[in-house]
A and B are shown apart, each in its own frame.
Chain A
C-alpha cells in the first residue's frame, strides 16, 4: 500500500512569492492534515481538510490556505512568502473516524520550503 506522498521535495522561493505544495493521501483516507515544522518550533498544526472542506485551521495568517480535491488530494498555498515561512511542511492523512487503525495520522515525507 502506497503511503502519503508529497511534492515537491524541495522548494526555493523569494520573499513575496507564492508557494504551492501538494499532498496525496493513502488510498481510502479522506482526511488530510498540514503541519509546519520550523526549526526550533516543533510541529505546528496548520489546516485540516475532510471530504473536500476545511474543517479547522491553526493559528496561522490567512495567506496560508489550501484546498482538497474530489480525489482527496490536497494543496497548500502560501502567499506573500516571508523568511520565517522557511520550514518543513508535513502532510498527514487519516481514514474515516473509527475505521482506520486507531484513527492515527500517517505522515508524508514533507516538502522543505526555503524562502530567500
Chain B
C-alpha cells in the first residue's frame, strides 16, 4: 500500500531564510503533486511533477522529483510571510487514477 511521508510536519522560520520540505513515498509512482492550503481554505495546486528529475519553480518555491529515490523536495528561497500555509504532497499509485495519497502536510509559519 502506498504511503506518503512528509517532514517536517511543522516549520517555523524567519523571513529571508531558505528551507526544504521533504516528501517520501513508498511505492512506484509516475507523478507527484504539491498543494498549498491556507487556514480554513481549500487546496491550491502548486506543482505537478511528471518525470524523474523534473524541476519546477514558481516565485520563491521550487519543487523537484527523484522517482528512483521516491523523493520530492519543495525548496523555499528567501521566505516571506505570505508563504505561511500548509503544504501537502500527494502521490497517485502507479497507473491508477482512482485516488491520490496525501502526506500529512507541513505547516509552515514564517515569522516577520
Q: Which residues of A contact B (CB under 8 A)?
A: 31, 33, 35, 42-43, 45, 48, 55-56, 58, 90, 92, 94, 97, 101-110, 112
Total count of chain B residues near the partner, CB < 8 A = 22
- Tell which of B17-25, B39-47, B59-67 binds the partner: B39-47
Alpha-carbon distance between A80 and B81 when the two chains are bound, in angstroms? 42
B102 to chain A, nearest CB (A): 4
Q: Which residues of B contact A42 (CB under 8 A)?
A: 88, 102-105
Is the pair B99, A58 in contact by a Cβ cutoff of 8 Å? Answer: yes
Is the pair A110, B42 in contact by a Cβ cutoff of 8 Å? Answer: yes
State whether A48 and B98 are in contact (beta carbons under 8 Å apart), knowing that A104-B33, A104-B48, A107-B43 are contacts in the complex. Answer: yes
B37 to chain A, nearest CB (A): 9
State whether A33 and B99 are in contact (beta carbons under 8 Å apart), knowing that A90-B42, A102-B50, A104-B33 are contacts in the complex. Answer: yes
Alpha-carbon distance between A58 and B99 when the two chains are bound, in angstroms? 9
Q: Which residues of B contact A33 (CB under 8 A)?
A: 99
Alpha-carbon distance between A92 and B90 when the two chains are bound, in angstroms? 13
Q: With contacts A43-B102, A107-B43, A107-B44 known, what are 18 further pairs, Cβ within 8 A?
A: A31-B97, A42-B102, A43-B88, A48-B98, A56-B99, A90-B43, A94-B97, A102-B31, A102-B48, A104-B33, A104-B48, A105-B33, A105-B100, A107-B35, A107-B42, A107-B45, A108-B42, A112-B40
Alpha-carbon distance between A104 and B97 when the two chains are bound, in angstroms? 9
What are 9 contact pairs spanning A and B, CB under 8 A? A42-B88, A42-B102, A42-B103, A43-B88, A102-B50, A107-B35, A107-B43, A107-B44, A109-B41
Is the pair B42, A55 in contact by a Cβ cutoff of 8 Å? Answer: no
Chain A residue nearest in CB terms to B6: A42
Alpha-carbon distance between A48 and B100 when the two chains are bound, in angstroms? 11
B45 to chain A, nearest CB (A): 6
Chain B residue nearest in CB terms to A103: B97
A87 to chain B, nearest CB (A): 13
Chain A residue nearest in CB terms to B45: A104
Partner of B97, one of A35, A97, A101, A107: A97
Decide yes or no whether B101 CB sits under 8 A from chain A. yes
Most buried by B among A103, A104, A108: A104
